[in-house]
Structure 1
Amino acid sequence: MWQPDGWDVRVRLGVLTPHADVGPESELRAMAPADVGVHAARVPFRAMGRGGTMDPTIPLAPVRAFAEPPHVDDAAELLAAAPVSVIAYAFTSSAYVIGPRGEGYMLDRLHERTHGLPVVATCAATAEALRALDAGRIALVDPPWFDETLSDLGRGYYEDAGFEVPYAAPCGLPSGQTLIGPRALHDWVASHVPDTADAVVIGGNGFRAVGAIAALEATLGRPVLTANQTLLWAALRAAATPTTPVTAYGRLFSAP
C-alpha cells in the first residue's frame, strides 16, 4: 500500500559540493544503495556561474579559496546539524593545490566545525583506496577543464602521498560537464593510459565518470577509481554502519 518515501535508510551522507555543480549528487545517488541517503550543502565556487557554466579551464585562485574559511566551514557546520553520519567533501582540485598535508589540515578544521562528525575528502579517499587495492603506480586522467598546471599539481599530490605517477594529463575531450558521456570517456581513457600503471584514477567530482568504471575495468584489466566512487567508499567506511553492498561500480567495493 505504501510507497517508498526516502525516510527508511540506514545511513545518511552529508555532501559539500560547489554551489552550481550537480555532478557529485548525481553520481553518489546513482551508486548508493536504497538504504543510503545523500544530502548536499552548497558551497560558493567563484569559477562556476548560473546553470553550472564554466570557462574552458578553471583558474587556481577560486579552487584554493573553496577549501578556505569561511564558506565551506559554515556549510559543514550547518550540514552536521542534520541527522547525517558523515560529511563528504566533494571537490578534487583544491587538494591538488594545497597538497596532502594541506588537505589534512582542512579535514581537521572541518572535523572541529562538525563537532566530531567524521569528515572524508576525495583525494585522501582515493589515496586510501589505492592502498587498499595495493596499487602503487597510477595513470591520472583529469577533466578537460583542468589545465596542464592543475593536472601537474595533481601528479604532485599523489607523488607526495607515496605513489608513482607515470602518466598525468587532462582528458582530451570537449571542456564542459554536459558534453562528455561514458562511451566517449571510456574510449579516450582506454586509448591513452599506459600499460605500466597498476590503476587508473579519474579526477574531478564534477566529471561524469562512474558510468564508465565497469567497462573500463573490463577493457583495461585494472582497477579504475573515480572521484565520487572513492568518496562514497570512504564515506560508507567512516559511517561504520552496515548497508546493502555497492555493486557494478568497480573492484574497489570488493576490496578488503
Structure 2
Amino acid sequence: MTALGFLYPGHSAEDDYPRIEQLLGSDIRLDVVHTDIGTDAHRVDALLEMGAADRLAAGVEELRMGGADSVVWACTSGSFVYGWEGAHEQVRSLAVAAGLPASSTSFAFVHALRELGVRTVAVGATYPEDVAGLFADFLRAGGMEVTSVRGAGIITAAEVGTWGEAEVFKLARAADRADAEALLLPDTALHTAAHIPALEKELGKPVLTANQVTVWEALRLADRRVNAPTLGALFSREPLVQV
C-alpha cells in the first residue's frame, strides 16, 4: 500500500480526492488533512497567510502517523504567491516538518508539464486577474511559455467549490488558445476530477487540473507510476525520455 498525504486548505473540492483514489484503481490511499484557511480570499495577503509554514506544519503529524510516503501542499495560489524561490522555501520547510518528500500544487504543474514535454500553455484560472498573473509568472520561472491567462474574478474558494460541469467547461473553452499545447485549470477548490477526459476530447490537448496534478506529484515523490486514462493524458502517457 502506498499512502499519499495532502494538506488541503479548508473545504471546497476535497471530494475530488476519494474520486481520484477510486479512479486510480490500485493499492494507493489518499489521505487528506485540512489546514486552517484563515481568510477565504484570493488576495495576495490572505494567500500568504494561508500558506505560512506554521499553518502547514500543524497538519503534518497526522499524515506522518498515518504512514504517508509523501506530502503535497494541495493549494496552487497559496504556493505560487510566494514566487519561485519563496515556494521552494515553503516546500523545504514542509519537508523538514513532515520528515517526508514534499511538494506543492504549483510545482506539480511545472513537473507535470515537463513530464508531458509541453512548454506552451494557456491558463484558465478562477482567480482575479492579478492573482492569475502571478501563476503565469511562476510558470514562466519554471521555463514555460504562457500564451494567455484568463481570470474568472472569483474571490473565495467557497464560491469556486459550488461550480459544476457547465462552469468548468465554460472557463476551459474561454481560456484555451490554438497555439497552446495544454490547458491549465489551477485551483484545488475547483471540482475537475470527473471532467478531464471530456475536456481533453473537446479541446484536443492535455488538460491539467489542480487536484489531478497534485495527486500525480505525490505519486512521483513516492516513486509510483499509475496508468489511469480516466484521469487524462498525464496518467496515460509514457514518461518523456530525456536525451
Normalized against structure 2, the TM-score is what?
A: 0.88
Q: Which residue of 2 aligns with 1:204?
A: 187
Question: In the TM superposition, what is the alpha-carbon distance from 1:178 to its structure 2 partner?
Answer: 4.3
Counterpart AA for 2:178? D
Q: Which residue of 2 aligns with 1:158?
A: 139
Aligned positions of 1:70-109 closer than 5 A: 70-109=54-93
Question: In the TM superposition, what is the alpha-carbon distance from 1:225 to its structure 2 partner?
Answer: 0.2
CA distance in 1, matches of 2:129, 2:189: 18
Normalized against structure 1, the TM-score is what?
A: 0.84
Residues 168 and 218 of structure 1: CA distance in aligned 2, closer, same or farther (over 3 Å): same
Structure 2 SS opposite 1:71? helix
Q: Following superposition, which runs of at least 4 residues in structure 1 exceed 6 angstroms of deviation?
A: 172-175
Is 1:14–1:38's contact at 8 Å kept on the other side of the alignment? Answer: yes
CA distance in 2, matches of 1:74, 1:180: 29
CA distance in 2, matches of 1:79, 1:192: 36
Structure 2 SS opposite 1:76? helix
Aligned positions of 1:16-27 closer than 5 A: 16-18=7-9, 20-23=10-13, 25-27=14-16
Is 1:177–1:207's contact at 8 Å kept on the other side of the alignment? Answer: yes
Residues 104 and 172 of structure 1: CA distance in aligned 2, closer, same or farther (over 3 Å): closer
- Identical amino acids, percent of aligned pairs: 24
Is 1:31–1:246's contact at 8 Å kept on the other side of the alignment? Answer: no
Structure 2 SS opposite 1:101? helix
Q: Say whether 1:46 aligns with 2:38.
A: yes
Q: Which residue of 2 aligns with 1:252?
A: 234
Question: In the TM superposition, what is the alpha-carbon distance from 1:221 to its structure 2 partner?
Answer: 1.0
Question: In the TM superposition, what is the alpha-carbon distance from 1:240 to its structure 2 partner?
Answer: 2.2
Q: Which residue of 1 aligns with 2:19?
A: 30
CA distance in 1, matches of 2:225, 2:110: 23
Is 1:11–1:37's contact at 8 Å kept on the other side of the alignment? Answer: yes
Q: Which residue of 2 aligns with 1:233?
A: 216
Question: In the TM superposition, what is the alpha-carbon distance from 1:192 to its structure 2 partner?
Answer: 3.8
Aligned residue pair count: 233
**Structure exhibiting the larger radius of gyration computed from Cα positions:** 1
Instruction: String of CA shifts for 1:25-53, please: whole Å, max 9, x gaps.
Output: 311221123422122222111223xxxxx
Is 1:183–1:212's contact at 8 Å kept on the other side of the alignment? Answer: no
CA distance in 1, matches of 2:72, 2:175: 30
Q: Say whether 1:139 aligns with 2:122.
A: yes
Counterpart AA for 2:222? A
CA distance in 1, matches of 2:87, 2:61: 18
Question: In the TM superposition, what is the alpha-carbon distance from 1:134 to its structure 2 partner?
Answer: 1.2
Residues 173 and 40 of structure 1: CA distance in aligned 2, closer, same or farther (over 3 Å): closer
Q: Which residue of 1 aligns with 2:96?
A: 112
Q: Which residue of 1 aligns with 2:46?
A: 62
What RMSD, in angstroms, separates the aligned Cα atoms of the two structures?
2.0
Question: In the TM superposition, what is the alpha-carbon distance from 1:168 to its structure 2 partner?
Answer: 0.7
CA distance in 2, matches of 1:173, 1:149: 12
Question: In the TM superposition, what is the alpha-carbon distance from 1:15 to its structure 2 partner?
Answer: 1.1
Question: In the TM superposition, what is the alpha-carbon distance from 1:242 to its structure 2 partner?
Answer: 6.1
Identify which of 129, 137, 150 aligns with 1:148: 129
Q: Say whether 1:13 aligns with 2:36.
A: no
- Unaligned segments of structure 1, at least 5 residues: 1-9, 49-56
- Unaligned segments of structure 2, at least 5 residues: none
Counterpart AA for 2:34? R
Residues 196 and 114 of structure 1: CA distance in aligned 2, closer, same or farther (over 3 Å): same
